[in-house]
Structure 1
Amino acid sequence: MSTDANGTSAQYRVGKAFHTALINADWAGIRSLLHEDAVWVLPGDNAISGPAEGADAIVQRAQRIAGYGLAFELLHTLVSRENVALSLHNTARRGDLVLDEYLSTVCRLRDGKVESIETYLSDVDGMNAFFV
């Protein structure tokens, strides 16, 4: 992938754009980063787990997650030759339930857009308890 005049890779720009759109509830912005047939897989057994297949389903998942009031702290944007991973610390409180998890969201890119997302979590049990 290419770099801009500042030496920033296209993968890095996609990762930052995804995070920025998520924290700003810019659903059209997220949608614009995705291939139509993109898939997002989350572990666990809860309201947001499993595969979200297709760009619209991914946007709906992002909306649902944000609807739980999460704070999405970006720790690092990591790039490989072709892809990008976001290292995040997500926190939220809902009544007596507290979410405090670290995760990596790995975005595989094709032609500068996201074709698949896989999320790795530090606390699947905590996620299961929170997202009911």
Structure 2
Amino acid sequence: MDVRHHIATEFHSALTTGDKDRLRAVLDPAVTWTLPGNNAVSGRVDGAEAVLDRAALIASYGVDFALEHVLVSADNVALGLHNTARRGDRVLDEHLATVCRIGDGRIVEIETYLSDEPGMNAFFGA
């Protein structure tokens, strides 16, 4: 299996199972993750532990991270995801592209693109 595809599937599997050790194994210690929006999970976090905390926070909302596609570039990888969840009368139905820049066989930068930023803000808002 290609290293980019392997990293993408390990990242997704670790997110869906909450396996912090498995997630930590594919993350560079200085990784960053940027999510658009203005809500509890938005903004930039720095460092593997902060990425782990964000992943756990997102999962705590009951989000289902359905993997639709793994897309590779010459050096990097993107995950096409369909995230869904329900919390009271709030519904999350979001398509995402999570782009992972790879360096030395680990994820060094994550940037997520959203299909419905206002919907994400409403779901993860106070």
**Which of the five TM-score ranges fits, normalised by the shorter chain?**
over 0.9
Paired residues in the alignment total 125
Of the three residues 40, 43, 46, the one matched with 2:33 is 40
Residue matched to 2:104: 111
Moved over 4 A (4+): none
Residue matched to 1:129: 122
Residue matched to 1:5: none
Deviations 1:86-124 (CA, angstroms, capped at 9, x unpaired):
000000000000000100000000011000000000000
Q: Which has the larger radius of gyration?
A: 1
The within-5 A match list for 1:14-53 is 14-53=7-46
Structure 2 residue ranges without an equivalent (≥5): none
Secondary structure class of the residue paired with 2:61: coil
TM-score, normalised with respect to structure 2: 0.98
Identity rate of aligned residues, in percent? 54
Is the helix fraction higher in 1 or 2? 2
Q: Distance in 2 between matches of 1:30 and 1:104?
A: 18
Structure 1 residue ranges without an equivalent (≥5): 1-7
TM-score, normalised with respect to structure 1: 0.93
